[in-house]
Structure 1
Amino acid sequence: MKFIVFSLFFFSFLFANSSVLNEEEKAWIENNSVKIGITNLYPLSYLNKDYQRDGFANDILDLIIKKFQIKTKTVDINHGNIEYAFENGEIDLVPIINNSKISNNFGLYSSEILKIRNILFVKKEQNKINSYDDLNYKRVAIVDETGTISDIKKKYPKIKIVETQRIEESVQKLLGGSVDALIASPITVQKYLEDNLVIDLKAMPLISFEPSIFYFFSNKNKPILQSILEKGLDSISIKEQKELFDKWFLKDVADLPLILTEEEMNYLQRKASINMCVDPDWMPYEKIEDHKHIGIVADYMKEFQEKIGIPIKLVETQNWSESLEYVRNRNCDILSLVMDTKSRREYMNFTKPYITAPLVLVTKRNVTFINDLNTLENQKIGIQKDFAYNEIIRRNYPNLEVVDVEHLRVGLKKVERGELFGQVTTHLNVAYAFQEEFYGSLQISGKFDNKWYLSVGVRNDAPILLNIFEKVVNSISDENKQKIINNWVSVKYEKSIDYKLFWTILSILVFILLLILYTYILQSRYIKKLTKAKEEIEMLNSTLEKKVHLRTRELELSNRKLKIKTLELEHLNNTLDTRIKEEINNRKKQEQLLIQQSKLAEMGEMISMIAHQWRQPLSALSTVIQNIHLRYSLDKLDKEYLDKQRILSNALTEKMSKTIEDFRNFFKPNKEKHAFSIKDAISQTIFLIVDSFKSNSIKIEVQILDDIKLYGFQSELSQVLLNILTNSKDAFLEKNIENPHIIIKAKRIQTHIKILISDNAGGIGESIINKIFEPYFTTKDSYNGTGLGLYMSKIIIEQNMQGELKVKNIPQGVEFSMYIPINYKE
C-alpha cells in the first residue's frame, strides 16, 4: 500500500506542470505572443553575439517559457526608454528590473528573483581606502541600472557618484584612473573580470552597501501574464535554481585580504604579541595538550595570526572558570571562543560569531527520540559549570532538574551509569566524544531550539583590538570554515529510527526493482529484434560488394568536384583582403559624400534665411541712399542731415552683420557638452526663421509648461528643429494651405523630455511615411532637397542624444515626436 502511495506521488510530481495553469491562462498562452524587452545588464540579462537572449534572469525566464510553451519575441531596447516602450506597447515583459528604477504605474512586479549586495572595488595598489570615511570626496563609479544610486547619495552624501551605463564602463574608468573606486555586486564584477582576464582590481568586502532586489516586470494591462509568471517561478525546483547559480555566479569570493587602518597597524606594532586564554578541555573545539593549543579553534587562530602578522600566545589555565577569571583580571587580551552574555560584557567585547553550535541532548541508546524537551518532568540533566547556556537552560526549561558537571566527559559517564538522564552539549562535542569512546552506549535523543553563537572575546579596554579581530573573522570564507571543521570531526552519532523515512526508502527500492524488471522485459524484446535484424543483414551482405564499388565511383567523382571548389575558394581567399580594403575605402568615400551633401543642404537653407532677414534692412538702406541723392539734387544736403543718415545706415548694417553672426553661431559645432534651456533652444531656432515664415503667413505657436534643461549639444537639437520646421514650410507652400500654422509643445515625463511638433500641412502619404528617415529619400525635386535632413535628425536624436525620433499622421497634418533623456545634473 505504501509503495502505491509513493508511486502516485512520484508520477504526480513528473506531470505537475501540466495542471498548474487554469483554462483561461492556457487559452491566453495559445493566442498570444510575449514581447520581451532586453537591456544590457551583463551577466543578469543581455543579448549575446548571436543576438539571442542570455544571462541569469533570461535562463530563469526560459525555464518558464519551456514549461508553459509560451510564444515570445525579443526586442532590443535602451534601458532609459523602458517606460516609454511599455507606454507605447512595444514590450510586454522585462526579465530583470530593480523596483527603485521603474514606476509601477507602467507595469507589475513579480516576486523577488534575485538579491545582490553591492561592495566596493579598488585597484590592487590602492591602500588608502579602508573605510566609509575614506570615500568622502572620492569619485566612485556605479551602474545606474541597479537602482541604488539615490540610496547611496542619501546615506553617503560626501561621495562623488559617477553614473555609468554598463559594468565594463565602470571597470575601464577605474583602471584608467578617472574614478577612485566602483560599487557593484561581486557576482557581476567578478564575472566580467574573469571573462576579460582583468587582474588589477580587488574587493573591499568590509565596505558594503544596501542590496539591490530584482524582479520580472510585466505589462500592467496584461495581469494574466503576471499570474503565469508567478506560477512559473513557483514551479522552478531548488535543483534548477542551484544549477543556474553555479552556471552564472562564483560560488565563493575566496579568502579576502585583511585591510587594516594605519591606527590598527600601529597598534599591532606596539603590541608585538597577543595573549590568549582558551577552554583547556573542550574538544573538538579546543584543548591544551603538551602546552599546545589544538582543535578547531586552534586552526582558526593559526589563520588569524597569519593575517594580523604578530604572534598569538597561549596563556595556560586549568579550567574554563579560570580562563574567564584571567580575562576579567586582564591577564589575557582575548578569549578564543566564548558566548556573548550580559554579565561578561562587564569586562569583554565580542566579535561577530564565527562558530554556531546547535545544542543537543545525549541519553542512553534505549531512549526514544524526544520531540519536545518540555515533556521531560523532573529529569536530571547535566550541563557544564560556568557555561553560558547553563543559566539559559535553567530559565527556559524549568521542568528539568539541571545538575552542574565539571567536564563533558564526566557528564557523559554519569549518563552511561544512569546517574543522569541526559547531558546537554553541542553536536560537534558529542560527535567527537562518540568517536573517542561513547559511540556504542549513548545517542542523541533530542535537540534544543537554542544555538550556541560563539565569538572571539576581547578585553573591553582595547576597542582597536576588537576592530582588528572583527575584520579577521569577516575575512575567513565559508569554504575554509567547513574545511577546518572537517579536519576534526566526522559525524558518527546515532539518530532515532524514523519509520516514515524507512518506508519511503523501502518504497523507492521497490520502485527501482520494478523499473529493473520492466527494463529486463524491454531488453528481451529488443534482443529478439536484434537477432532478426542480424539475419537480414547477413542476407544483404552478399550484395554489399557491388554497392561498395558503385559508391566508391560516386565518391571519386565527388572528390574531383571538391578539389575544383577548393581551388576556387583558395583564389577567393587570396583576393579577400584586397576586396575588403576596397569596400572600406568605398564606404569612407560614401560617408564623406553624405556629410558634404548634408553641409551643402544646410548652407542652402542658411542663405535662404539670411536673404529673408536682410530684405527689410536692405530696403531701408536703399531708401536712405535715395533720400541723400534727392537732397543733393535739390541742393538741400547739409551736414546735420548727412550725419543722421549716416547713423541710420550704420544701425542697418550692424543689424545685417548681427544676422550673419547669429547664423554663423547657430551652425558652428559645439566642442563640449553643456547645460542648455529647451525654451532658449526653441526660441533661438524660431528667431532664425521667423521672417521667412512671416513672409509666407505661417504662424508658429510654442507651448512649454516647464523650462527644462538638457545636458548636451544645443546646436544639434536646433538643427533637428530647423529641419522639421523647414520641411513643414515647404509642405505648406507646395500644397498652398490656407491659414498654415505649426504647434511646438514640450513637457517633462519623469526622467525624459517629450517634444511634439505638429502642423496642418495635410500629412505624409501612408506608403512613404516609413521611408522619410532613410538617406537620400525625398519627395522634393533635385533642386529643393537632398533627402539628408531627416536622416541626420534621426542620427542626432537616437545615437548622439540616446533618445527616440518618431513621426505619425494626425488629422489635417503630421506630428513629429522626440523622447530625450534629460541627463542634467544641478
Structure 2
Amino acid sequence: MGRYASVILLCFCLPLVANAERLASIYYHSSEDQPATITTSIRYCVDPDWLPYEAIRDGQHVGISSDYIQYIEAHSPLRFNLVPTTSWSETLSFLQTGRCDLTPLLNQTASREEYLRFSHVYFRSPNVLVSLKDQPFLQGFENIGSRTLAVPKGYRLDEYVQQYYPGVQTLEVDNEPEGLEAVLDKRASLFVGSMFSVNAYIQQTGFNHLKIAGWGGPEDELRVGVTAGSEELLPLINQVLDNVEELERIKIYQKWNNVAIIDETNYQLIYQVIAVTLLIVFLLLSRTYLVSQYNRRLTGKNEQLEALRQQLVTTNAELEFLSNHDPLTKLYNRHYFNRQITEDLRSETQDDSTCLIILDIDYFKQINDNLGHAMGDKILMELSHLLQQVVRETDVVARWGGEEFVILCRHTSLNAGTALCERITQVIAECHFSGEIKLTCSFGIAQLGDDEPMQSCFERADKALYQAKSLGRNRIYIDDSHN
C-alpha cells in the first residue's frame, strides 16, 4: 500500500514540479512502513504595515494572516518562506513579476484577477470613514462632497472609489497609518480603511480625537491569492481553511484584536531596590515609596486602558447604529433594508401576504430651492415622525434616499396597503408642517408574490410610484401584475 500511495501522491505533485521557478522545492519520501509525504516550499509576500491583519516586524511576519499561515502549515504538507517587502505596492509588484507565489490576505478585484487566483473567503471585515471629532457624521461616500479622502494606494478601496465615486477628491497614501496621520495633519478630511486596523491604531497611539464618521463602502472579503500557474495549491488551501473550527477563528481574532499598550515595567530597577533593601534596613522606606509610586503609575495606566475600552465600546455602538439608521431622520436606512429585512423574509414562510409601499414627497426640490436645505431637512424629519406614528408596530419604515421612503408591511393585502396609504395621505393633509408648507406625497404599491425575490417586488413598486407621479402626483398607484 505504501508504494501505491507514493505513486498517487507523485502524480498529484507533477504540476508543482513543472512550476519549479515559482515553488522553491519539493521533497518526496516513501518506504514499506511509511506513506509518502510531500513538502512544498512556497515564497509569499504580505502587506508590511497593516496590523492587526498582517505586518513585518524585525523581519518576522506577524498579525492575523501569520496565524493562518501557521495553521495551514500544521494541517498540510505546504511550507512557506517569507519574502520581505517595504510596501503593499511592492508586494503586488512582486506577485506580478513572479518574485512571490502567494499572499495570504487580500480582496479579489478585477485588476488582480489578471495575475492572481483566489481561495474561498475566510475573513471578513467592515470598512469605515474616519475623521476628526469636530467633523460631522456621514452616511457614506455619497455625502463626502468637496472633502479630501485619503485612500491607501493599491488597496481594493482605491479601485472602488475611482470606479463608483470618480468625483471624490482623493489623496493616495502608502498605508493605513499614513492615511490616519493625513487626517490628523489636516492634509485630508477623511480616511477610509478597515475598522479593526483603525481601532488598533487609535489604541496604540492614543489619538482618541479621531472618530468613525461613516460607513466605508463594501466590507472586505479577504482570501488567499496565488499567482497564475500555481492554481494547483488552491484546492488544498481551500480544504484547510474551510475546516478551521469556529473556536480557532475566534482565538486568532481575539489574539490580534485585543490591542492595548502599557509601558513595560523596569524590573531591573525593582530587583536592585529589593537587593539593596535586604542589605540596608534604611532602604526599606525607600522601597515602600518606590512601590507606592509604581502602583500609582499602574493605576493611571489601567485607567487609561479602561478609557480606551469604553471609547471602543462607544465607537462600535455608534458604528452599529450608523450602519442601520439614517442619521437625519433616525429611520432605518437602505443598508438595513437590503441586508436585514430581505434575510428575514427569506427565513419566513410566505403563507401571509407582504406588501411593499414606496412614497416620494411631491416637488421636494422646490422646498430646498426656495426655502433652503435646512427647511428641507426639517420637513424630512417631521414626515418621518408622522410615518412612524401612522404605521403599525410590525411595519418597517426606512428612508431609501433623498425624499423617498419605503414601508414594508407583513401580513398585509393590497387592499390593506392601499388603506394605509390613504390614511397617510389624510394625516399629511391635516398636518401643519414647518413654514406652513402644504405637503403631498405619491405612492407606489406592490404585493410580494410567491417565491418572488424582494428586488423584483421593489422594482414593481418603484414603477408604480413612477406612474403615480406621471399621472399628476398626490395619488396612489397599485401594481397588481404578480397577483
Structure 1 length-normalised TM = 0.30
- Which gives a bigger RCO, structure 1 or 2 (Cα 8 Å, sep 6+)? 2
Question: Which has the higher Rg, Structure 1 or Structure 2?
Answer: 1
